[in-house]
C-alpha cells in the first residue's frame, strides 16, 4: 500500500470533532443539542470550537461525551447534563440542587430593571434565588455604582450553587450579599429595599399539568406550594411592605392561572397599584405591586 493510501486510511479512522458532532446529532436528532454536548465535552465553544472541527478528539473527551449522552438519553434534562445554562447574559452553573432557570423568568429581570434603572441607588432582594438567576442577572446588568443586591434561599444546597455562580460574574459580585433563611428572615433587620423580587414555588401539590421530567428531576422545594400552589404568595405578599421603601415594589413570577388570586392578595395587603403582566405567549406571568 502506498504511503498516500495509508494516510487516507488513517484519516478515515480518526475521530475528529466534526465527526463526533455529526454522530451525536444522528443519535440525538438535533444538531444544536449535539453541539452543546460536544462543546462541554471538549471545553471549546464559539470560534475555538469551529477552529478545532478537523482536529482529533481525545479519549478523555470521548468518555466525557459518552457519559453525557447516556445521561441525556436516560431522561435527565439537558441543562443538568451540561451542568450549565444560559440566562440573559450569564452562563450559569446548574445541577439537581436548583431549578433550571426558565426563559419567562428573564422577563421578571427585565421588569425589575425597568423599575430601578434610573434610581441613583438601588437595593434589591431576590428571595428564593435558587441558582441566583434573577439576582445575579440584575447585578450583571445594573451599574456597578449604587447597586446592592441580596440573594436568599431557605435551601443551603441551592445557595451553594448561587455562590458558585456569584464567583463567575466578575466585578459586579462585590454588590451582592448572600444569606440563607426562610423568605424575609434572610433579610437584615429593619432594612428597606426598592424592589423585592421572587419566583417562588407555585405548582399545586400533585398537579397533573407538571411535565414528568420536571417532577422527576427538579427539586420539589423549588416547585410545590400547597393544594392550590399559592401558599408561598400567602407568606410573601403580606410580609413584603415592611421590607420595602415607601415607593418600593414587589415583583413576583406567577403561574399562568394565578393572576387574579395574587392580585387580590396584593390589594388586600395594601399595595396601591397592582399590575398583572403576560409572558411572550400571552399568559399571565408576573405581578408588579407598588406601595
How many other CB atoms are there within 10 angstroms of residue 108's CB atom? 27
Q: Is 258 in the site for ligand SAM (CB under 6 A)?
A: no
- All cell numbers assigned to 78: 439537558
Q: Is 111 in the site for ligand SAM (CB under 6 A)?
A: no
End-to-end CA distance of the chain: 84
Q: Is 147 in the site for ligand SAM (CB under 6 A)?
A: no
Q: Is 24 in the site for ligand SAM (CB under 6 A)?
A: no
4: helix, coil or strand? helix
Q: Is 166 in the site for ligand SAM (CB under 6 A)?
A: no
- The CA distance from 96 to 94, in Å, is 7
- The CA distance from 155 to 60, in Å, is 34
* From 41, 65, 90, 101, residue interacting with ligand SAM (rule: CB under 6 A): 101
How many other CB atoms are there within 10 angstroms of residue 138's CB atom? 26
**Footprint of ligand SAM on 121-140 (CB under 6 A):** 127-131, 133-134
Sign of CA dihedral 38, 41, 47, 51: negative
* From 140, 155, 279, 284, residue interacting with ligand SAM (rule: CB under 6 A): 155
Q: Is 194 in the site for ligand SAM (CB under 6 A)?
A: no
How deeply is 12 buried, as exposed, middle or buried, from its count of CB atoms within 10 A (0-12, 13-18, 19+)? exposed
- The CA distance from 275 to 287, in Å, is 6
CB of residue 49 vs ligand SAM: minimum separation in angstroms?
27
Q: Is 99 in the site for ligand SAM (CB under 6 A)?
A: yes
CB of residue 183 vs ligand SAM: minimum separation in angstroms?
4
Q: Is 81 in the site for ligand SAM (CB under 6 A)?
A: no
* From 41, 93, 169, 222, residue interacting with ligand SAM (rule: CB under 6 A): 222
- All cell numbers assigned to 189: 433587620
Please, are residues 36 and 72 in contact by the beta-carbon 8 Å criterion? no
Q: Is 94 in the site for ligand SAM (CB under 6 A)?
A: no
Q: By CB under 6 A, which span of 74-82, 152-160, 259-267, 273-281 interacts with ligand SAM? A: 152-160
Q: Is 248 in the site for ligand SAM (CB under 6 A)?
A: no
Q: Is 214 in the site for ligand SAM (CB under 6 A)?
A: no
How deeply is 206 buried, as exposed, middle or buried, from its count of CB atoms within 10 A (0-12, 13-18, 19+)? exposed
Q: Is 229 in the site for ligand SAM (CB under 6 A)?
A: no
Where are any strands of DSSP class E within 2-51? none
CB of residue 245 vs ligand SAM: minimum separation in angstroms?
21
Please, are residues 65 and 41 in contact by the beta-carbon 8 Å criterion? yes
Q: Is 165 in the site for ligand SAM (CB under 6 A)?
A: no
Q: By CB under 6 A, which span of 21-29, 194-202, 204-212, 258-266 interacts with ligand SAM? A: 194-202
Which residues contact ligand SAM by CB under 6 A?
Answer: 99, 101, 105, 127-131, 133-134, 153-155, 158, 182-183, 199-201, 221-222
Amino acid at each position: 500500500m502506498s504511503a498516500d493510501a495509508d494516510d487516507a486510511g488513517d484519516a478515515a479512522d480518526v475521530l475528529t470533532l466534526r465527526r463526533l458532532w455529526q454522530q451525536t446529532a444522528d443519535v440525538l436528532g438535533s444538531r444544536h443539542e449535539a453541539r452543546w454536548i460536544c462543546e462541554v465535552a471538549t471545553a471549546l465553544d464559539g470560534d475555538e470550537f469551529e477552529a478545532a472541527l478537523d482536529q482529533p478528539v481525545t479519549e478523555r473527551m470521548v468518555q466525557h461525551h459518552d457519559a453525557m449522552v447516556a445521561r441525556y438519553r436516560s431522561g435527565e434534562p439537558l441543562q443538568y447534563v451540561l451542568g450549565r445554562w444560559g440566562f440573559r447574559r450569564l452562563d450559569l452553573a446548574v445541577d439537581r440542587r436548583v431549578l433550571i432557570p426558565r426563559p419567562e423568568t428573564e422577563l421578571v429581570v427585565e421588569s425589575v430593571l425597568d423599575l430601578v434603572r434610573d434610581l441613583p441607588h438601588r437595593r434589591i432582594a431576590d428571595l428564593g434565588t435558587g441558582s441566583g438567576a434573577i439576582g445575579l442577572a440584575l447585578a450583571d446588568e445594573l451599574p456597578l455604582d449604587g447597586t446592592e443586591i441580596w440573594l436568599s434561599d431557605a435551601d443551603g444546597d441551592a445557595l451553594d450553587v448561587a455562590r458558585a455562580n456569584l464567583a463567575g460574574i466578575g466585578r459586579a459580585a462585590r454588590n451582592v450579599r448572600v444569606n440563607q433563611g426562610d423568605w424575609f428572615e434572610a433579610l437584615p433587620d429593619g432594612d428597606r429595599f426598592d424592589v423585592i423580587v421572587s419566583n417562588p414555588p407555585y405548582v399545586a401539590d400533585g398537579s397533573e399539568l407538571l411535565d414528568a421530567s420536571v417532577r422527576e428531576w427538579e427539586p420539589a422545594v423549588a416547585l410545590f406550594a400547597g393544594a392550590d400552589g399559592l401558599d408561598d404568595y400567602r407568606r410573601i405578599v403580606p410580609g413584603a411592605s415592611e421590607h420595602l421603601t415607601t415607593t418600593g415594589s414587589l415583583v413576583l413570577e406567577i403561574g399562568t392561572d394565578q393572576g387574579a388570586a395574587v392580585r387580590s392578595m396584593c390589594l388586600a395587603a395594601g399595595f396601591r397599584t397592582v399590575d398583572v403582566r403576560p409572558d411572550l405567549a400571552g399568559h399571565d406571568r408576573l405581578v408588579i405591586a407598588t406601595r
